[in-house]
């Protein structure tokens, strides 16, 4: 089976989508990647979901990617002695390291790293930005603030410090334990939350050591300031609009989203647009027109994938949400204007042999009636560079490496196929490529296919061959 679209769908698994029947329904409705959110659920639950996904993969013969999403450092206020408090604009309110339950005048904030980074005039956002405090005076263990925007504050609500680079690692002890467990599970992608600087991604990369792709979740203003360096150290990127929309003015998020997608397309790194895409489908069988337009905008921009969070993890209509996203993507990609927009935003190729080959693939497909592009790859690099070109026909990626085949399920336009044995010569390459293209439904006997590979065969990073053949 193959999807009748180029952009991919990431579906989060959770309480509403943990049984085999529902997960299979999500896959059949269009999910290409399953996100395991380690902010919720036990290791045992994630193990059970992994087993279900792998069974579906084996039964269908289509590689499926699993994305482990690490929780990251969660900064929260402590408890209150007598329940929630109501803060009004102009009130004085203190945050400190004292563990005594909070009152109308103060609350515990058990994060010394926040106080170490504060200075007068800094804003603190509580409860997803609903409450805004401005620091008047601060020290190593306290901050005296004035309420700028008030509201009801209850215990354990999150704290954001948008203007400050916090001196904390993006990997907490919980994350390290979850990461070790996830790598043992054989996850294909690892997403790092609350990335602030390139060093965060380098730390993750050093731990993972190639056992999975590393993905940066961009949700902090500090990360946007060093966007290119973070993209360079990542294998993929997620536009995490939830916290990004808390820490930055809402009116800036659309342009930042486009900037991130553009940077990833230039670099040839897969990019996911995420959060609140079909939010109303948590409790309704259809989305709002604005939500449908939001998904469509990401596709017109050339994003590799769009993601469902609570819609598929805990909503009432998980299968319907995936099916709706599938239909929106397909409708956009049928629009003649879509191809015009994608071509107009095409990035210049790098001055490398691999990019010369992949650029030629794209040009060939635009000049002659090519049914499919076929890429042979061991590392996934050739297929990703071909996908970067955003060709008019699918990229049929053939690899003897199953982890690579799974990882490429995230990439735009890539239909990934795992084969047991690598090819050893050009006739074998053509024969295998044409047979796979026909078997997978990308070509019929007699159709033209264009093939990219590397010689000598079996060596990663040697893309230097373009071959046109008839299936």
May I ask the CATH architecture of the domain 353-470? 3-Layer(aba) Sandwich (3.40)
pLDDT score recorded for residue 456: 81
Residues paired with 416 in a beta bridge = 397
May I ask the CATH architecture of the domain 85-160? Beta Barrel (2.40)
Distance from C-alpha of 20 to C-alpha of 1, rounded to nearest angstrom = 19
Distance from C-alpha of 230 to C-alpha of 226, rounded to nearest angstrom = 6
Residues taking part in catalysis:
35, 76, 217, 275
Q: Rounded to 5 degrees, what are φ and ψ at 150?
A: -95, -175
- Domain segments of the chain: what residues? 8-73+170-334, 85-160, 353-470
pLDDT tens digits, 372-403:
999 999 999 999 999 999 999 999 999 999 99
Q: Is 244 exposed, middle or buried (0-12, 13-18, 19+ CB in 10 A)?
A: buried
Give the residue from 300, 224, 294 showing the smallest Cα distance to 265: 300
- Assess if CATH 3.20.20.60 describes domain 8-73+170-334: yes
In 304-457, which ranges are E strands? Answer: 305-308, 370-376, 395-399, 414-418, 448-454
Q: What is the DSSP pairing of strand 151-153 with strand 142-149?
A: unpaired
Residues paired with 66 in a beta bridge = 34
pLDDT score recorded for residue 411: 98
pLDDT score recorded for residue 351: 85
Helix, coil or strand: residue 135: strand
Q: Give the largest Cα separation in the chain, rounded.
A: 78
Token pair 């804003």 is found at: 123
Q: How far is CA 471 from the centre of its chain?
A: 35
pLDDT score recorded for residue 462: 75
Query: Rounded to two decimals, what is the model's pTM?
Result: 0.93
- Residues in the chain, pLDDT under 70: none
- Answer yes or no: same fold for 8-73+170-334 and 353-470: no
Q: What are the residues whose beta carbons fall under 8 Å from the beta carbon of 314, sequence distance 6 or more? A: 14, 15, 16, 282
pLDDT tens digits, 45-95:
999 999 999 999 999 999 999 999 999 998 999 999 999 999 999 999 999
């Amino acid at each position: 089976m193959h999807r009748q679209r180029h952009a991919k769908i990431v579906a989060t698994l959770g309480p509403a989508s943990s049984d085999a029947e529902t997960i299979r329904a999500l896959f059949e409705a269009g999910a290409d990647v399953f996100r395991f959110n380690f902010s919720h659920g036990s290791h045992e639950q994630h193990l059970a979901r992994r087993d279900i996904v792998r069974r579906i993969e084996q039964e269908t013969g289509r590689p499926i990617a699993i994305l482990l999403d690490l929780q990251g450092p969660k900064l929260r206020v402590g408890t209150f002695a007598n329940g929630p408090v109501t803060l009004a604009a102009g009130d004085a309110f203190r945050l400190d390291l004292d563990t005594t339950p909070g009152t109308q005048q103060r609350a515990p904030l058990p994060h010394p790293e926040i106080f170490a980074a504060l200075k007068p005039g800094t804003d603190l956002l509580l409860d997803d930005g609903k409450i805004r405090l401005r620091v008047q005076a601060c020290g190593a263990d306290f901050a005296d603030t004035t309420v700028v925007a008030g509201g009801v504050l209850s215990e354990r609500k999150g704290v954001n410090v948008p203007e400050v680079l916090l001196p904390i690692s993006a990997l907490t002890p919980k994350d390290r334990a979850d990461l070790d467990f996830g790598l043992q599970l054989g996850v294909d992608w690892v997403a790092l939350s609350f990335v602030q600087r390139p060093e965060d991604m380098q730390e993750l990369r050093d731990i993972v050591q190639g056992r999975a792709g590393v993905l940066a979740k961009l949700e902090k203003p500090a990360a946007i300031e060093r966007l290119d360096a973070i993209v360079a150290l990542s294998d993929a990127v997620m536009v995490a609009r939830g916290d990004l929309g808390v820490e930055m003015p809402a009116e800036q998020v659309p342009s930042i989203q486009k900037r991130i997608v553009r940077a990833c397309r230039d670099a040839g790194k897969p990019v996911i647009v995420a959060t609140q895409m079909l939010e109303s489908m948590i409790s309704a069988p259809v989305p709002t027109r604005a939500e449908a337009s939001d998904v469509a905008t990401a596709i017109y921009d050339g994003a590799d994938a769009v993601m469902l969070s609570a819609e598929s993890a805990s909503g009432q209509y998980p299968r319907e949400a995936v099916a709706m996203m599938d239909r929106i993507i397909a409708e956009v990609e049928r629009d003649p204007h879509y191809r015009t927009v994608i071509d107009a935003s095409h990035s210049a190729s790098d001055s490398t042999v691999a990019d010369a080959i992949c650029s030629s693939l794209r040009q060939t497909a635009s000049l002659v009636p090519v049914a499919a592009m076929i890429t042979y790859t061991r590392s996934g690099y050739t297929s990703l560079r071909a996908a970067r070109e955003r060709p008019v026909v699918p990229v049929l990626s053939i690899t003897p490496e199953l982890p690579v085949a799974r990882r490429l399920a995230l990439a735009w336009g890539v239909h990934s196929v795992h084969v047991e044995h690598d090819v050893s010569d050009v006739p074998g390459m053509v024969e295998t490529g044409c047979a796979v293209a026909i078997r997978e439904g990308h070509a019929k006997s007699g159709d033209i296919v264009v093939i990219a590979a590397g010689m000598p065969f079996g060596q990663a990073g040697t893309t230097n061959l373009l071959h046109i053949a008839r299936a």
